[in-house]
Amino acid sequence: MENIHGNGASGHEKEFVIIVNGRERAFIEKEITFRQVVELAFGTYEENPDIVYTITYSKGEDKKEGTMTVGTSVKVKNGMIFNVTRTNRS
């Protein structure tokens, strides 16, 4: 399981286990951004106008399911599931 720690992590924060594209990931921040989800899914985030990322999630904290768009974040909950796709515009 890959660990993602926020800036200044002291080791005392609560760790959440989330699922990104079928893989368990540990995450310690209370909110996760669109960019962070993409980085967990693919290792990097490409700022390219020809690449489109689509994120859907389920088992959320505030909202049980939904979609994320560039620049948004959602509260993290244990067992939350993210599905991320990357497509090229033609």
9 lies in a domain?
Answer: no
Residues 6+ apart with CB under 8 A from 6: 13, 28, 29
Question: What does the alpha-carbon distance between residue 20 and residue 5 come to, in Å, rounded to a whole number?
Answer: 16
Give the model's pLDDT for residue 1.
Answer: 52
Sequence letter at residue 26: A
70 lies in a domain?
Answer: yes
Average pLDDT, the chain: 88
- The pair of three-digit structure tokens given for residue 50, joined into one six-digit string: 């020809």
Per cent of the chain over pLDDT 70 is 84
55 lies in a domain?
Answer: yes
21, burial (CB in 10 Å: exposed 0-12, middle 13-18, buried 19+) = middle
pTM given for the model:
0.84
23 lies in a domain?
Answer: yes
Give how many domains the chain has, as a whole number: 1
